[in-house]
Each structure stands twice: as structure tokens, then as C-alpha cells.
Chain A
């Protein structure tokens, strides 16, 4: 029977080439989209899942209960790991991991003889390789990190330095970094972290080195480390959370507003957004969004099959009638009809795989991934299941519908198309076009919002500004700046930098004004002790910061050498002035680090991204900060950067000059939106293409069926235009209905998405009108070509056929 069914199906395809091709193209493009999205979703879902004890591997998260709201961070005190193992019975193992962030640069230089390699390093407690599964090629996980003079290096590094991973234990490597330097012995070699690992590192140092070189690192009050745990197999996460909630408050009286909770490590990649101290989505939103898009695209393609199969039912009547008469049961026929759509799906899969192979490089570009079609049983079975389900969904309604015909009436050639069936078919077309329209509106809204983020006046100028990191020694008040240590070299560099031809201004800061604005708690601005202190964003900047970024000073002055400004001088923004209730803020004393004085007020400007509102901001002053920002004269970028590079190299023997443009860094904040917008362009285009294919098929079939009617009408005097209008009006009504349905739905979705931004575009009428007109025109073109052709046929021909 199978053979019979497959043979019959293939012959059917051959006989009805147009509808076969329409279905095949629709299903294969739909499947290709779905498979690409599947690869991406699968990759996202698989991040960090490879650790052997994934189910028991948790990360400790810290909630900071500020007056302005709860902030969640993954940085925790270094002593926490050890204390948790001792005091919480459910915790089997715990480690502290620090990624050198306190020295504002994880990158250091490892060298062997003359060979130097820039590497990313981390510090960790001894059980690192027991908690995480980064297999060791040399060394054992029990003791590879038990000596602070030993380091564990990656396979690539070992091969880079020694051309082999064998017998490298004991060999010496020199380490150069702003934090500390020294010679270390290789204690082990680990396999390079796989691509689906969030943590990427080349070398692991003993945690003790961090404590030795940063006097604050070992304290309970310094959040220097990420803490990872292995829980007992039967541990109850809720109970653990209860036990550790106020763990820090018990350790230090200053930490009363610090609360801890744990999150499964592998779930953190997708659930990385926190609101009010609780997980509130994150990348998972995009995973869900794209899964939904894949589903919808497949549905749109399936609808084509449903519509064409049921519309062309009359062509199948005879086969069905005869088979039923000679004894085929309804289920026999359903299997036969379902088999047809499933077989078609599998044919489409072959083409889809070719399409996927062809577009994968571009898709990787857009998504920033390295997806590939590596043949494995999991991937193959997933593809097969997706294909089977698609075929099943596409075929189930036609199978049900066609097999239900009464043999007595189909053999007479009578097929009563009920009102309901016509509506189902129309409903399916409406469904397709509604989805396509929602895609297009979504695309326009995302596009407009991204444009807004790019063009909105942020209150500062990010054009022609480059930033880079000073990587030589730099001391500050926390890391031993004293008479013994000084930053003279750095200041000389800054002075010379300002003299470089083409450099307009130069300044320096800690952190990053786009993505990493420092904050400080405990800020008070009145003598009233009962006033609650506030946590205020407070970037630490050097001289000329306002000038370099073009931030407008509206009152007072900026930091200046002339006045011998120090850490006690502050500049605030308008919002901060408002928050503090100062009419004349300049000269006011507030308490931040002691007794501090406001020396200036700047106009509010939009730091960070448009996701957030402008908050009160206090500029602190410290010239000893290593993040350098340079404003370059327009038109001289290339030459000036070349000169800065030369200057930088004079001061850095080991480190290459690595810089970025501030406007590009700014765009990178909206990376995920830009990616979504790029992807939406393709997917909405495809959705429209597939929908139109279906419409094309339906139009073709309808005109074919009404050939005689067209002939009679023409004989009776109808013009070509009159016939085209008659034939297209039905489709026009369908598309207009889809437009009416899609507008409120897309409005609500767009509105919801825009709520994510503190500053967003207004949803104007044309965002909905343009897609509507566009789709209508495309639909007219699709149907119109067919109908004009049909209407132009000499009626003698069409009537003679009868």
C-alpha cells in the first residue's frame, strides 16, 4: 500500500506541476527559515549546558536593595564561596572566579622566550575544574590549581608556545599585566572552552594572586568574584535560597541591603535580565520570538498546501470516489492524502537543506554565531521531526476534508462546496496575510526605533571620538597610589597625546560612559541624619571630560588643574540638582566620600542606552583613570589614529594599540535589536513571498474554474477591465480583512515592545498604512497578472472547450 501511495503521489505531482511547484517552493522556503531558526535556537538553548553537573551547577547572584529599586549583580565577595561550603550543608563545592575586572583589563601578555601572546585570564579557587567541565589534557582536576605559582593554560596556548600539549607541565611562562607580573609554571593544560561556553579564557591563575595583589579583594565588602556552586544532588533550591538570603548581612554590618540567591548557571545565559531582584527574561525573549516566527512561517507555508489542495478538490474527486466505492475506508484515504503532504514536505526538506547550506554564512553574519550543519543524529532527527510535523499540519485538514466526500455524489461529479468551506479557505488566506502584515509592521517599528537611537540628540557628541585602554601600570587611591608609586608615565602620555596633530581634546575616565557607568551608594545631601542615602550613578572622570564629549556646562566650572581639584570636588547634572532640591547647587556640600563640594552643573545628557531614563548623575574626579577618550579632528581620522598608535607604542612595549570608535560602541548597545531588525527583514520578506505564492495558486485555480463564466460574460459584452475587477474583488476583500485584523494586533505588539525603551518612537498611521498598501499592491499584482490573462482570452476558445 505504501508503494502504491507513494507512486500515486509522485504521479499526482507530475500531473499538477504548477500547484506542486507552488507548494514545494513555499514549503521549502518555509522549512529553510524554520531550520535556520532552529539551528539558532538550539545553539542559544545549548549555551553552558555541556558541564557534566549542569543540573547541580549554580551561580550566586547578589541583590542590592537600593532606595531607587533593586539592582541585581553577579559580583559577590571573594570569601563567600568558602563560607558557603562550610555553613550551608547543601553546598558540595564552591569556587570564586575573578576575571581581572578590578584592573579594568582581563587581557595580559604571556610570553615564552621571544614569543608573546595576548591572553584572557581568570583567577579561581582550586576546585575550578571540578565545578566546570573543561577537560584537562595535562594535570588532574584535584590538584592542578593548588599552587599559586602554577597556571593552567589552554590547548591553543600550549600549542602556540610549545607546539605540543605533551610534557609542558613544569615549563615556565612570563606574565605581564597591569595588576601584577611574574614567572609561572605550567601546571596543566585544558581543552579550549567550546563555543557554547559563556566563559572564555586562555589561562587560569590561583585566586591567592588576586588577594596578594589587591588588598581589598579578600574583604566581604568588595564584590570581586563570581561565585559558582555545586549543590548536592537532592538539594532543594528554595531552601538554599532561604538560607543564603541574608548570609552577607550576618558577615558584615555594612551589607544589610545585600541579599543573595542562586540561579542555575546554564539558565543564566538566556535569563539574564532582572527586575526587582527577580529573573525577568533576557535573551529567552528572542528565543521565544524567533521560535514563534518559525512556527508562523511554517504555518503560512502549510496554509498554501491546505488551500490549494482543498480548492483543487474537484480534481481529486474521481480517485476518492472510486476508491471509496471499491472499499477503501476513510482512514485508508486519509493516510493516502496525508502521505502526500508528508512526502511533499520531505521533498521540500531536501531543497530546504540546500537553501540552509547556501545562506548559513550570511545567517551567521547577521546572528553573530558560528552555526553549522554538522551531521549528528540529534540534528537529523530534529530536522526529520520538524519536516514530518509540517507535512502533517499541512495535510491534516485537506485529508480530513477530501476523505469525507460521499462517494455517491463525487462519482456524479457533484461537489457541493459549502459556505463554510469557502470561509475556511478565505480565513486561511486572511490568516496568512495577517501574519505577513504583522511581520512587516514589526520590521518597520524596529527599524524606526533603531533609527531613533542613532539619531536622537543625546546631549553629547560621540562623533570622531575614539577610546582605548592604558595598559601599563596605573595606580589609584585603591591600588596603592602613594609617593612610592606614581602615574607620571601616564600623565606624560596624556600630555603628549594632546599635542598630537589632529587631536582636538583628550580625557580619561574609569569604566565606560556607554555600558559601564559606575555608581556609588550612601550619598547624602543634607545634614539631616534621618534622610535616607541614595545610590547615584557617578562616573569617575579626568580633566577635559566635558569638553571632549561636548557636554554643556550650565553652571560653575569643570575640573581643572588650576584649582588643584581633587577627589572631593563634584559636578552634577540637572536631574541630580533637582533630586537634591538645590536651586544654586554650585558651592553646596554633599556627603559622598566625606565632605564634598559641587563645583559645576551640566545639562542633562543621555548616557548609556535609550532603554533607560536620564537619572541623577554625579561626576567624581580622578585623573588616574585608564580609559582614554580622544576627540579627533574631522577628516584627519586615519592620519591621527596612526600617530596616536605610534605614541601608544612608545609607552607600551608589549601591548598592541586597540581602540574603538565611540559611535560604533554606541551602536553595539543595540546589537540585538539591530540583529532582530536584520532578521525580520528576511523573514517578513519570505512570509510575503510564501503568502503570495499561495494567492497566486488560488487565483490561477479560480480563473481556470471560471473560464466558461468569463467567456459568457465577454460574449454578453463585459470589458477586460470589468472581468479583472470581478475576479480581483474577492481577493481584495480578503486582503483588506487581513489588514483590518492585523492593525490592532500589530499595534499592541509594537506598543509592548516599545515599552522596553524609555525613549521611543510614536506609532504613527503610516507605520500601518504603508505595509497595508504594499501588501495590497503585491496581492493585486499576483492576482492581476492571472486575471488579465484569463480575461483577454478570446471567448470562442473558452466556450469551445466545453
Chain B
């Protein structure tokens, strides 16, 4: 089991208002699964993704990543777990504007101290695979949305993460480009990478083997799309 949460709660407090984003949420995700998370705006999808991605911590409850409790880890330790095991894909691509395509993809390996020659090799291989090699020296703003998201996916997987967290990866793309990205994710999943994806699109959600629906910070239904082997 790669992810197991037990009674996760996340409460946001501002001066006067208290908002419960996650309410006693418990889920389990096995290694190799492709889980889609759906639900209306404000149901806690993104909060859940942030906690699963270890860029935010729960107010209470436990989060086991590969059977280790990580919810209560210090920021430094979480950052270590993150860079070695996780890859992120965002709706708004989140490429760094000042870096070229090549440099954006290469970036995560700099924090895992991969030697320069190896970085170059892996980046080039991935760009080739994503059909982006001819754009390697372009800056993000010179690319189309679909191209940017392919670069973002390449960046997410360059360190061979065990888990990819995709937050509405097709939200800013037209259907053709969205399809491309989904196929890449499905392909990665078929090669063994666990994927957790937030989406509004039923079509995209069905690329996964299981759909979890959230409402008001709680799981309302879990549908198995196809049996996970």
C-alpha cells in the first residue's frame, strides 16, 4: 500500500471564519493504482492533493506514505521524501518562466544530486519520448498549452517517482491535447507508476481504475472503473 490516511482533518482559520476542508477522511491507495478524485469546487480535492503531496500538513489525523507516517514530519524531512518519491502535474503547468524546456525538466534532478551527464541523458530521453526535443531551448511562454503540459509531465517523471499527483492536468487544455496528456499518464501507470489525479471531467476520470468522489471534505462514493490487478 502506497497511501493510507486515517481520519484526516484540515481546518483553515482566518480571523473570523473557520473552514473545514477535510473532514475525518480515510482513504487507501495501492501501489500501481490510477485513482481519480472528483467532486465539486471547494469539496477539499486540492487540499487532499496538497497533503498527499506533502506540501501541506493535516490539522489532525495520520498519513502513511509507503507505510511511514509522514503527516507529522518536519518540512525538511517532507521535502526529502517529496523529491525522491513524488512527481507533480498542475492544471496551470507551473513551468518556471525563466528556464528553458530542457532546464525545467532537468530541475528536479538538481535537488536529488544527479550528476550532470546523467541529467542530460535522462532529460533528452524524456523530451524525445514526449516529442519535445525540437523545443528544448524554448522558454515556456513560447509553447502551446499542450506542449507546456507535456514538458510538465516530463518534469514530474524525470526522477522516476513512485507516485504522480496530477491536479486537473487537462483543465487548461483543449480536448486533443488533453487526450494526449491522459494517454501519457495512462501509459506511465501501465508501467507501474501510481497516479492520483484530481479532475472535473468524467471522461478523464475513467482513465483511472477507481474514482473517489468527495463532498464537503468527506468521501461520498468510491467506484471501481475496472479491477486493479
Binding site for B on A (CB under 8 A): 1, 4, 7-8, 11-12, 15, 318-319, 321-330, 332, 406-408, 411-412
Contact: B108 with A318, CB < 8 Å? Answer: no
- Taking A319-B98, A407-B55, A412-B46 as known contacts, 19 extra A-B pairs with beta carbons closer than 8 A to each other, sorted by chain A number, are A1-B110, A4-B103, A4-B107, A8-B96, A11-B98, A15-B98, A319-B97, A322-B95, A325-B55, A327-B82, A327-B83, A327-B112, A328-B79, A329-B76, A329-B111, A330-B76, A406-B55, A408-B56, A411-B55
Contact A406 B56 (CB under 8 A): yes
> Which A residues lie within 8 Å of B39 (CB)?
none
Among B50, B79, B95, contact of A327 (Cβ-Cβ < 8 Å): B79
CA distance A416 to B112 in the complex (A): 30
The interface residues of chain A lying within 8 Å CB-to-CB of B131 are none
Q: State the 10 A-B residue pairs at the shortest beta-carbon distance, nearest first.
A: A327-B83, A11-B98, A408-B56, A407-B55, A408-B50, A327-B111, A326-B108, A408-B55, A319-B96, A322-B94
Q: A318: which B residues are within 8 A, CB to CB?
A: 94, 96-97
Contact string, B65-100, partner A, CB cutoff 8 A, digits 1/0?
Answer: 000000000011001101110001010001111110
* Chain A residues with CB under 8 A of B99: 8, 11
Inter-chain contact A411/B94, CB cutoff 8 Å: yes
A323 to B94, CA, bound (A): 10
Verify if B155 is at the interface (C-beta below 8 Å from A): yes
B residues near A4, Cβ cutoff 8 Å: 103, 107, 110
B86 nearest CB across to chain A (Å): 8
User: A323-B107, A326-B83 known; A12 and B94 CB under 8 Å?
Assistant: no
CB-based nearest B residue for A413: B92
CB nearest neighbor in B for A15: B98
Question: Can you list 23 contacts pairing A with B, beta carbon distance less than 8 Å?
Answer: A4-B103, A4-B110, A15-B97, A318-B94, A318-B96, A322-B94, A322-B95, A323-B107, A324-B79, A326-B107, A326-B111, A327-B80, A327-B82, A327-B83, A327-B112, A328-B79, A328-B83, A328-B111, A330-B75, A330-B76, A332-B111, A406-B55, A408-B50
B32 CB within 8 Å of chain A: no
From B53, B75, B103, B110, give the contact of A325 (CB < 8 A).
B53
Roughly how many angstroms separate A329 CA and B74 CA in the complex, as a whole number? 12
Least Cβ–Cβ distance between B179 and chain A, in angstroms: 25
B185 nearest CB across to chain A (Å):
18
Between A319, A325, A407, A411, the greatest number of chain B beta carbons within 10 A of the residue's beta carbon is seen for A325
Assess the B96–A325 pair: CB atoms within 8 A: no
A3 to nearest B CB, angstroms? 9
Q: Give bound CA distance, A328 to B55, whole Å.
A: 12
Contacts of B53 in A (CB 8 A): 325
With A329-B76, A332-B111 known to touch, is A8 a contact of B98 (CB < 8 Å)? yes
Residues of A within 8 A of B55 (CB): 324-325, 406-408, 411
Kindly identify which residue among B76, B88, B103 contacts A326, using a CB–CB cutoff of 8 Å: B88
In Å, the complex CA distance between A328 and B88 comes to 14
Contacts of B96 in A (CB 8 A): 8, 318-319, 322-323
Give Cα A330–Cα B103 distance, bound, in whole angstroms: 20
Q: Smallest Cβ distance from A312 to chain B, in angstroms?
A: 14
Q: How many Å lie between the Cα of A8 and that of B97 in the bound state?
A: 10
Check if B94 sits within 8 Å of A321, measured CB to CB. yes
Residues of B near A332 (CB, < 8 A) are 111
CB A343 to nearest CB in B, in angstroms, measures 14
- Provide the bound-state CA to CA distance between A8 and B110, in Å: 14
Q: Which residues, 90 to 137 on B, are CB-close (under 8 Å) to A?
A: 90, 94-99, 103, 107-108, 110-112
Bound-state Cα–Cα, A323 to B108, Å: 8
Q: Name which residue of chain B comes closest to A4, CB basis.
A: B110
**B149-169 interface with A by 8 A CB criterion:** 155
Within the assembled complex, what's the spacing in Å between the Cα atoms of A1 and B56? 26
* Docked complex Cα distance between A406 and B55 (Å): 8
Q: Is B90 within 8 A of A411, CB to CB? A: yes
Which residues in A have their C-beta under 8 angstroms from that of B56?
A: 406, 408
Q: Is A12 in contact with B108, judged by CB distance below 8 angstroms?
A: no
Bound: A327/B88 CA distance, A:
11
Q: How far is the CB of B109 from chain A (nearest CB, A)?
A: 10
**Contact between A327 and B108 (Cβ–Cβ < 8 Å)?**
yes
CA distance A89 to B103 in the complex (A): 74
**How many whole Å from B60's CB to the nearest CB in chain A?**
17
In chain B, residues 172-218, which have Cβ atoms closer than 8 Å to a Cβ of chain A? Answer: none
Chain A residues near B90 (CB-CB < 8 A): 411
Q: Which residue on B lies nearest to A1, using beta carbons?
A: B110
Docked CA distance A321–B97 (Å): 13
Distance of A518 from chain B, by nearest CB (Å): 75
State in angstroms the CA–CA spacing of A406 and B56 once bound together: 8
Chain A residues contacting B83 (CB-CB under 8 Å) are 326-328
B47 — nearest CB in chain A belongs to which residue?
A: A408
A190 CB to nearest chain B CB (Å):
61
- Interface pair B94/A329, CB less than 8 Å apart: no
Task: Identify the closest chain A residue to B94 (Cβ).
Answer: A322
Q: Which residues of B contact A319 (CB under 8 A)?
A: 96-98
The distance in angstroms between the C-alpha atoms of A411 and B168, with both chains bound, is 14
A322 neighbours in B (Cβ, 8 Å): 94-96
Most chain-A CB neighbours within 10 Å: which of B53, B75, B96?
Answer: B96
Within 8 A of A (CB), among B11-62: 46, 50, 53, 55-56
Residues of A contacting B95 in the complex (Cβ-Cβ under 8 angstroms): 322
Query: Could you tell me the distance in whole angstroms from the C-beta of A319 to the nearest C-beta in chain B?
Result: 5
CB distance from B171 to the nearest CB of A (A): 14
Central interface residue in A11, A328, A332, A408, by most chain B CB within 10 Å? A408
CB nearest to A9 among chain B residues: B98
Q: How far is the CA of A11 from the CA of B79 in the complex (A)?
A: 26
Q: Which residue of B lies closest to A8 (CB)?
A: B98
Q: Which residue of A lies closest to B152 (CB)?
A: A322
Kindly state the separation between the CA atoms of A406 and B103 in the bound complex, as whole angstroms.
24
Q: Which residue of B lies closest to A319 (CB)?
A: B96
Cβ of B108: which chain A residues have Cβ within 8 Å of it? 326-327
Contacts of A15 in B (CB 8 A): 97-98
Chain B residue nearest in CB terms to A327:
B83
Could you tell me the distance between the alpha carbons of A322 and B88 in the complex, rounded to whole angstroms?
Answer: 9
Q: Tell me, in angstroms, the Cα distance from A792 to B110 when the chains sit together.
A: 47
CB contacts (< 8 Å) of A8 on chain B: these are 96, 98-99
Residue in chain B with minimal CB distance to A315: B97
- Complex: A388 Cα to B50 Cα, angstroms: 38
Nearest CB of chain A from residue B16's CB, rounded to whole Å: 15
Q: How far does the alpha carbon of A438 sit from the alpha carbon of B29 in the complex, in Å?
A: 66
B99 (CB) vs chain A CBs: closest residue: A8
Measured between beta carbons, the chain A residues less than 8 angstroms from B103 are 4, 7
Give the chain A neighbours of B97 by CB distance below 8 A: 15, 318-319
B111→A325 contact, CB < 8 A? no
Give Cα distance in the complex from A319 to B83, angstroms. 16
Q: What is the bound-complex CA distance between A321 and B92, given in angstroms?
A: 13
Question: How near does chain A come to B63, taking the closest CB pair, in angstroms?
Answer: 14
Whose C-beta in chain A lies nearest to the C-beta of B165?
A325
